[in-house]
């Protein structure tokens, strides 16, 4: 079953498209958190970011600033959040990788962030960083 975003990319479901290249499509979010809330989606259908091919990931990296510049220019916003959720626990509702570009016009509107920072434990952090370094490239 194609994802709802694949169906949008194919033009089977209408959307307000703002950008496309061979690997990436961007369109307005149907339920925007703020004016100009855009979704940037790889044509490659993968559920989570780490599953993407290097080609798709590179295309997204190229497209994101291009689309963000256009959103800022068109809306007059000069602050924005990029949000990318992976997994239902992390608030992902649509199982096809997507980046949100969410303009921020004033405090309290747009994306709300609860940032429950904790203190880092230095010995545990050194051990964890070493473990992650060992897994890079898998």
Rounded to an integer, what is the distance from CA 123 to the centroid of its chain? 33
Q: Counting contacts by CB under 6 A, is residue 86 touching ligand 5GP?
A: no
Q: Counting contacts by CB under 6 A, is residue 136 touching ligand 5GP?
A: no
Residue 129 belongs to what H/E stretch?
A: helix 122-135
Stretch binding ligand 5GP (CB under 6 A), from 17-25, 70-78, 90-98, 106-114: 90-98
Work out how close the CB of 68 gets to ligand 5GP at its nearest, in angstroms, rounded to a whole number: 17
Q: Counting contacts by CB under 6 A, is residue 129 touching ligand 5GP?
A: no
Answer yes or no: 98 catalytic: yes
Residues in CB range of 107: below 8 A, 6 or more apart:
none
Q: Counting contacts by CB under 6 A, is residue 126 touching ligand 5GP?
A: no
C-alpha span between 79 and 17 (Å, rounded): 22
C-alpha span between 24 and 45 (Å, rounded): 11
For ligand 5GP, the binding residues in 8-37 under the rule CB under 6 A are 13, 15, 27-31
Per residue, the 3-state secondary structure of 25-89, as one string, reads: EEEECCCCCCCCCEEEEECCCCCCHHHCCHHHHHHHHHHHHHHHHHHHHHHCCCCEEEECCCCHH
Which one of residues 6, 48, 81, 85 is an interface residue with ligand 5GP (CB under 6 A)? Answer: 85
Question: Catalytic residue among 37, 96, 98, 100, which?
Answer: 98
Q: Tell me the residue nearest to ligand 5GP as measured from the CB.
A: 30
Which residues are annotated as catalytic?
A: 98
Residues of the shown chain interacting with ligand 5GP in the complex, contacts defined by CB under 6 A: 4, 13, 15, 27-31, 39, 85, 91-94
């Amino acid at each position: 079953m194609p994802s709802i975003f694949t169906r949008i990319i194919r033009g089977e479901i209408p959307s307000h498209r703002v950008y496309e290249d061979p690997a990436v499509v961007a369109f307005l979010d149907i339920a925007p958190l703020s004016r100009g809330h855009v979704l940037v989606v790889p044509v490659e259908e993968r559920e989570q970011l780490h599953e993407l091919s290097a080609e798709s990931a590179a295309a997204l990296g190229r497209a994101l600033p291009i689309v963000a510049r256009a959103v800022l220019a068109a809306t007059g916003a000069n602050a924005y959040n990029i949000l990318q959720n992976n997994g239902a626990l992390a608030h992902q509702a649509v199982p096809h990788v997507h980046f949100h570009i969410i303009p921020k016009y004033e405090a309290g509107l747009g994306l709300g962030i609860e940032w429950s920072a904790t203190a880092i434990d230095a010995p545990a952090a050194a051990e964890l960083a070493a473990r992650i370094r060992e897994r890079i490239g898998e």
